[in-house]
A and B are shown apart, each in its own frame.
Chain A
Amino acid sequence: QKEVEQNSGPLSVPEGAIASLNCTYSDRVSQSFFWYRQYSGKSPELIMSIYSNGDKEDGRFTAQLNKASQYVSLLIRDSQPSDSATYLCADESNDYKLSFGAGTTVTVRA
C-alpha cells in the first residue's frame, strides 16, 4: 500500500516568517501532487498542485517537487495568522487513487 508521509507537527512560526512543510511518497509512479489546506472544522481546499520536477509559485506559496527523491515540499512566505491550519499533502498515481498524508498543523504567531 502506498504511503504519503509528512513532517510531524505542529509547526509554529512567527508572523512574517517562512513556514516549510515536507512530504515524501512511496509510489514511484505517482504523477500528480497536491497541497490542501484544512481549517479546523472545515473541509480541505486545494492551494497548490504540481506535476513536474522543480518549483511552482503562486503568490506566497511555492511547491517544490523532486521525483527522483520522491519528495514534495511547500513553502509559505510572509506567513500570516490566516495561514494557521492543517496542511495535507496528497499524491495521485496511475490508478487515479488519491492518497493523503496525515497532515501538518501550522500555527502562525502574531
Chain B
Amino acid sequence: EAQVTQNPRYLITVTGKKLTVTCSQNMNHEYMSWYRQDPGLGLRQIYYSMNVEVTDKGDVPEGYKVSRKEKRNFPLILESPSPNQTSLYFCASNPGPNTEAFFGQGTRLTVV
C-alpha cells in the first residue's frame, strides 16, 4: 500500500530533550515536507526537500533540523524542544512540483 508513515504518533517530552520524528514514504517521491498544524493557523511548512541531500527552509524553520540522506526518509529533529513546539506535525510527499501532497498520519507532540 502506498503510504507515508510517521513515528511516533504521540509523544510527550520535556523541554530540552532531543527528539526525532521519523517519516518514510514508499512511493519513490522526489519531494518531502514537514508541516506543523496549530489551531487557527492552519498548516505551516517547516522544511522541505526536493531531492536527496537537498533541503530548504519553509515558513517556520526555527528550532528544527531535517536531513535527506535517502529518498524515502525525511526525519524531523528537535535538538532542544521548547513548549512552543507543542503541535500536531505532518510529513508529506509529492511526486514533483505542482502535484498532490500525500500526508502521513500525523504526530502529536507535547513539550512540557
Residue pairs across A and B with CB atoms within 8 Å: the count is 51
The residue of chain B having its C-beta at the shortest distance from the C-beta of A31 within the complex is: B98
> Is B44 within 8 A of A100, CB to CB?
yes
Knowing A44-B90, A103-B42 are in contact, say whether A49-B48 is a contact too (CB < 8 A).
Answer: no
Q: Which residues of A contact B90 (CB under 8 A)?
A: 43-44
* Min C-beta distance of B63 to chain A, whole Å: 18
CA distance A31 to B98 in the complex (A): 8
* Min C-beta distance of B42 to chain A, whole Å: 4
Q: Which residues of A contact B33 (CB under 8 A)?
A: 98
Q: Which residues of A contact B43 (CB under 8 A)?
A: 44, 88, 90, 100
Render A73-110 as a binary contact track against B, CB cut-off 8 A, 1 for contact: 00000000000000010101000111111110000000
- Count contacts on B: residues with CB < 8 A to the other chain: 22
* Min C-beta distance of A80 to chain B, whole Å: 23
Q: Which residues of B contact A90 (CB under 8 A)?
A: 43
CA distance A98 to B58 in the complex (A): 9
CA distance A4 to B59 in the complex (A): 13
Knowing A1-B59, A43-B106, A96-B31 are in contact, say whether A102-B98 is a contact too (CB < 8 A).
Answer: no
Knowing A96-B48, A100-B42, A101-B42 are in contact, say whether A44-B31 is a contact too (CB < 8 A).
Answer: no
Interface residues of B (CB under 8 A from A): 31, 33, 35, 40-45, 48, 50, 58-59, 90, 97-98, 100-101, 103-106
Interface residues of A (CB under 8 A from B): 1, 4, 31-32, 34, 36, 42-46, 49, 51, 88, 90, 92, 96-103
